[in-house]
Amino acid sequence: MLIAGVGGQGIILASEIIALSAMKEGLDVKKAEVHGMSQRGGSVVSTLRYGQKVFSPLIKSGTADILLGFEKLEAYRTAQAVKPDGVIIVNDQEIYPITVASGKAKYPQNLDQLLVQTGRKVIKIDAYNIAKELGEVRAVNVVILGALASQLDLNKESWLSAIKERVPKKAVQVNLKAFQKGWEVGEKQV
Amino acid sequence: MQKVLLSGNEAVARGAYEAGIRVATAYPGTPSTEILQAVADNYPDIYCEWSVNEKVAVEVAIGASFGGVRSLSAMKHVGLNVAADPFFSLAYIGSATGGMVIVSADDPSMHSSQNEQDNRNYGRHAKVPVLEPADSQEAKDFTVWAIKISERFDTPVILRLTTRISHSKSVVELGEPVKPNKATYEKDVNQRMILPAIARKMRIKVEERLKKLIEWGEDCPLNIMEIRDKKAGVITCGVTYHHVREVAPELSTLKLGMVYPIPPKLVRKFTDSVKELYIVEELDPFIEMELNHLGIFPKKGKDVVPVLYELNPERVEAALKGEPDPISPPMPSDIPNRPPVLCPGCPHTGVFYNLHRMKARATGDIGCYTLGALPPLSAMDTCVCMGASLGNALGLEKALGEEFNKNLFAVIGESTFIHSGITGLVNCIYNKGNTNLIILDNRATAMTGHQPNPATGVTLMGETTHELDLAELARACGASYVAEVDPYDLAKTRKALEEASESEGVSVVISKRPCALIVRDEWKPALRVDVEACNGCRLCLQVGCPALSMKEKIAVIDRVLCTGCGVCAQVCPEEAILERAVI
């Protein structure tokens, strides 16, 4: 699976929770990402694979099962890495790159349509507003994870215990609620 | 034993603990930084430090080894260039009294680096063994092996990681830690004084040691031969092994965990077992040249496997099938790029905005501020290596004369200045330069994740220490003009820069303001735009702040991103950018 977004969106924490959930089921897990210069507001892609035995941490383009897009433009940028009958879960959020903010380029206005045109199954989730309703905008990543979890075959208990391990103690309850909300939205779209 | 999910870097830290290492040193550098961070966070028994640079880091580790203690020194690939001087001496001196591992984290594809040098070559160059793990489990295990080899063969060992090992996470089964060595010191001039007469003797030892290492490598557990289909076999190392297994699971493999020196008998045994030999390795034809030297030539090697950039499963598959290199994956080309940017509230912005307005020339250096070269600031002209800005500026002045120098600035961060800029400053003054230097002191080694440094007065282990006074240091070196400015104050910063360029001799302007990411609790409320006053002139966009954009010809400030630094408000000729409290 691939997770794409903008540096600073909490992609590394999200991929950490997914990896941990898979590990809790006794599966082999590998995940890869790049730190450093790209973190400063640039495009970020994390790859994650789990199964009985995983060799490469990287995924051949066009063969990923699922793409988790934290931002629409980044989801579209990475969409072709997903297999033709794969799934794209996309957070309904737009973050303008500096090239757009400075007027050098235009942010595409038809990304929803472009994503559907790739032929992959698209699940859209308004994670920001769901998190906002729960009173914790920082739980956006976990809302998205809930939607992802509804599409995967890992046990819910593994997810919940991974979340408890990796989010700050005082934020556990709100994050568990965020996960549940995300799960419900994802489930409806099957 | 317990199984945990660790990155390659975290696994090396765990390996250091299990190997009984008690001194660990490093200078931060992507992709190696988290090794020492993980040591500091998890293993309080290990003394660890951020050294001022990689050369000093290796020298401290050598000192520990002299004292009978096992040590580790970690750096990014180019860090070993800085540490090459002590490293090459160490190759002769050896490490019989305390095992030593030098971790080199290479960066194929230059995700966060200026070049993609292949540091396996340092093994051949210095005649020391190189271990290369293929995942986190091996990163931990090979660290333990490195110490064993180091003590048994009286040699430092390079543990070569790549970005895909350092920053990938996989499952690691933990081991029991061994007892550390007992610290002792015995004077031994013949082992530690690398004078010509002694070095000539050591030189013989180095060659004999290599022979013993080759012999050991013939059946060591680090080199793994797996015979599957006998039609063809691949010699490989590191993460590339996993790419090969992914795309061609039927092929036999010889995975070299010790990639230097290469054991000829084992290699011949493998080549005799398969009909066709392939060599699949990332970057240089390192294994291939070693094999060529033995008279072994693969059916497929660097003639089909690309020498440029990081390999991945699809590139390896294409190479083995003889198809064109899918160097970059398919992506839509008609959408805007998202390059990295200086963060909202970045203190460097105020300096770069001024340099841009002054149409100044700037020799740059290595850090977040390298991003100041990108539009719209476009405020830096050069970037060569750590500390190069000062020497480059002096060279330009000597070549083009003092007039050119008037509007020329060397720009360097405080951590990089301490790393290798101080000598450059002394050199400018000694050689009668008129250099203008800007030190961007943001109270952290920011690009690699806000590590403390001598100017912050805190150590890696969290202790307070002497805080280096950069202004005093500049004066002591002989700078004729020294000023400290707050870069959020554009006018005062401009004034200091102009005074620096007018004054005779070497001038130093220190821009002092903590990185916005380490003082989040000091952020002010987001600014707002007075839509009546804004005339859409776009001048504020010249600041290059990610929180600013234009919508329908009016400036817009993103409330979540804005830190309230006020730099854009100073730029606006219509005074249309206001504090929220004013409403």
Per domain, the residue ranges of chain B are 3-217, 223-321, 348-520, 523-582
Instruction: Give me the residue from B314, B340, B449 closest to A38, CB to CB.
Output: B340
Question: Which of B108, B31, B106, B107 minimizes the C-alpha distance to B308?
Answer: B108
Per DSSP, B453 falls in state -
Written as one string, the DSSP assignment of B236-269 is E-TTHHHHHHHH-TTEEEEEESEEES--HHHHHH
Disruptive mutation site among B335, B343, B353, B560 for chain A (greatest number of A CBs within 10 Å): B335
Instruction: Give me the residue from A62, A101, A114 closest to B549, CB to CB.
Output: A101
Domain range annotation of chain A: 2-188
Interfacial B residues in 330-389 facing A (CB < 8 Å): 330-332, 335-343, 368, 370-371, 375-376
Interchain pair A16, B368: CB under 8 A = no
Which residues on A lie below 8 Å from B332 (Cβ)?
76-77, 79-80, 114
Instruction: Give me the residue from B163, B331, B338 closest to A80, CB to CB.
Output: B331
The β-bridge relationship of strands A28-32 and B168-173 is antiparallel
Q: Is the peptide bond before A108 cis (omega within 30 degrees of 0)?
A: no
Tokens of B67: 């004292």
Instruction: Give me the residue from A34, A40, A102 closest to B343, CB to CB.
Output: A40
Q: Residues near A115 by Cβ (< 8 Å), separated by ≥ 6? A: A72, A75, A76, A79, A88, A90, A122
Q: Give the pLDDT confidence score for residue B339 in this predicted structure.
A: 85
Which residues on A lie below 8 Å from B312 (Cβ)?
56, 58, 60
Residue B166 and residue B12: Cα distance in Å, rounded? 9
Instruction: Give me the residue from B112, B317, B337 closest to A99, CB to CB.
Output: B337
Report the amino acid identity of residue B247.
V
Residue B65 and residue B90: Cα distance in Å, rounded? 11
Tokens of A48: 């994650």
Residue B281 and residue B260: Cα distance in Å, rounded? 14
Q: Which CATH number fits domain B223-321: 3.20.20.70, 3.90.1300.10, 3.20.20.60, 3.40.50.920?
A: 3.40.50.920
* First vs last C-alpha separation in chain A: 18
Which residues on B lie below 8 Å from A35 (Cβ)?
30-31, 33, 112, 167, 449
Q: Give the pLDDT confidence score for residue B328 in this predicted structure.
A: 83
Tokens of B226: 């797996």
Residue B294 and residue B279: Cα distance in Å, rounded? 14
Interfacial B residues in 227-286 facing A (CB < 8 Å): 239, 242-243, 245-247
Interfacial B residues in 443-462 facing A (CB < 8 Å): 447-449
Tens-level pLDDT at each residue, chain B (583 residues): 899 999 999 999 999 999 999 999 999 999 999 999 999 999 999 999 999 999 999 999 999 999 999 999 999 999 999 999 999 999 999 999 999 999 999 999 999 999 999 999 999 999 999 999 999 999 999 999 999 999 999 999 999 999 999 999 999 999 999 999 999 999 999 999 999 999 999 999 999 999 999 999 999 999 999 999 999 999 999 999 999 999 999 999 999 999 999 999 999 999 999 999 999 999 999 999 999 999 999 999 999 999 999 999 999 999 999 999 998 888 888 899 888 889 999 999 999 999 999 999 999 999 999 999 998 999 999 999 999 999 999 999 999 998 999 999 999 999 999 999 999 999 999 999 999 999 999 999 999 999 999 999 999 999 999 999 999 999 999 999 999 999 999 999 999 999 999 999 999 999 999 999 999 999 999 999 999 999 999 999 999 999 999 888 999 998 888 999 999 999 999 999 999 864 4
Instruction: Please say whether the beta carbons of A18 and B204 come within 8 A.
Output: no
Interchain pair B30, A101: CB under 8 A = no
Helix axis angle, B348-357 to B490-502, nearest 10°: 60
Disruptive mutation site among A27, A56, A78, A138 for chain B (greatest number of B CBs within 10 Å): A56
Please report the number of interchain residue pairs, chain A to chain B, with beta-carbon separation below 8 angstroms.
Answer: 162
Interchain pair B111, A97: CB under 8 A = no
Interchain pair A41, B546: CB under 8 A = yes
Interchain pair A36, B338: CB under 8 A = no
CA distance B313 to chain A (A): 6
Q: Give the pLDDT confidence score for residue B93 in this predicted structure.
A: 97
- State the SS3 of B51-111: CCCHHHHHHHHHHHHHCCCCEEEEEEHHHHHHCHHHHHHHHHHCCCCCCEEEEEEECCCCC
Interface predicted TM-score (ipTM): 0.94
CA distance B492 to chain A (A): 26
The β-bridge relationship of strands B223-226 and B71-76 is unpaired
**CB proximity B321 to A under 8 Å:** no
Q: Which CATH superfamily is B3-217 part of?
A: Thiamin diphosphate (ThDP)-binding fold, Pyr/PP domains (3.40.50.970)
Instruction: Give me the residue from A55, A76, A98 closest to B332, CB to CB.
Output: A76
Residue B342 and residue B365: Cα distance in Å, rounded? 15
Instruction: Give me the residue from B164, B242, B371 closest to A40, CB to CB.
Output: B371
Residue B312 and residue B308: Cα distance in Å, rounded? 12
Residue B64 and residue B23: Cα distance in Å, rounded? 7
Tokens of A14: 């999200």
Instruction: Give me the residue from A38, A58, A114 closest to B312, CB to CB.
Output: A58
Q: Residues near B574 by Cβ (< 8 Å), separated by ≥ 6? A: B533, B534, B535, B537
Interchain pair A107, B336: CB under 8 A = yes
- B457 Ramachandran zone, left/alpha/beta (phi>0; psi -120 to 50): left
Tokens of A53: 């035995």
CA distance A179 to chain B (A): 22
Interchain pair B170, A54: CB under 8 A = yes
Q: Give the pLDDT confidence score for residue B583 in this predicted structure.
A: 47
The Cα-based distances of A43 to A70, A106, A148, B339, B384 in angstroms read: 11, 17, 21, 7, 25
Q: Domain B348-520 is in which class?
A: alpha beta
Tokens of B428: 């400018």
Burial-class residue B196 by CB neighbours within 10 Å (0-12, 13-18, 19+).
Answer: exposed
Interfacial B residues in 407-446 facing A (CB < 8 Å): none
Which residues on B lie below 8 Å from A79 (Cβ)?
332
Instruction: Give me the residue from B167, B243, B549 closest to A35, CB to CB.
Output: B167
- State the SS3 of B367-400: CHHHHHHCCCCCCCCECCCCCHHHHHHHHHHHHH
Q: Domain A2-188 is in which class?
A: alpha beta
Residue B145 and residue B137: Cα distance in Å, rounded? 12
**CB proximity B192 to A under 8 Å:** no
Interchain pair A61, B317: CB under 8 A = no
Instruction: Please say whether the beta carbons of B18 and B175 come within 8 A.
Output: yes
Tens-level pLDDT at each residue, chain A (190 residues): 999 999 878 898 899 999 999 999 999 999 998 765 556 678 899 999 999 999 999 999 999 999 999 999 999 999 999 999 999 999 999 988 888 887 788 999 999 999 999 999 999 999 999 999 999 888 999 999 999 999 999 999 999 999 999 999 999 999 999 999 999 999 987 6
Is B523-582 in the same CATH topology as B348-520? no
Interchain pair B337, A104: CB under 8 A = no
Instruction: Please say whether the beta carbons of B554 and B546 come within 8 A.
Output: no
Q: Does domain B523-582 have CATH number 1.10.150.120?
A: no
Disruptive mutation site among A27, A38, A58, A93 for chain B (greatest number of B CBs within 10 Å): A58
Residue B32 and residue B106: Cα distance in Å, rounded? 8
**CB proximity B503 to A under 8 Å:** no
Half-sphere exposure of residue A115: CA atoms within 13 angstroms, side-chain side = 27
Residue B394 and residue B410: Cα distance in Å, rounded? 9
Nearest-by-CA chain B residue for A41:
B340
φ and ψ at residue B399, rounded to 5 degrees: -80, -40
Interchain pair A99, B336: CB under 8 A = yes
Residue B240 and residue A94: Cα distance in Å, rounded? 36
Interchain pair A41, B326: CB under 8 A = no
Instruction: Please say whether the beta carbons of A80 and A104 come within 8 A.
Output: no
Instruction: Please say whether the beta carbons of B512 and B484 come within 8 A.
Output: yes
Interchain pair A54, B448: CB under 8 A = no
Residue B291 and residue B298: Cα distance in Å, rounded? 9
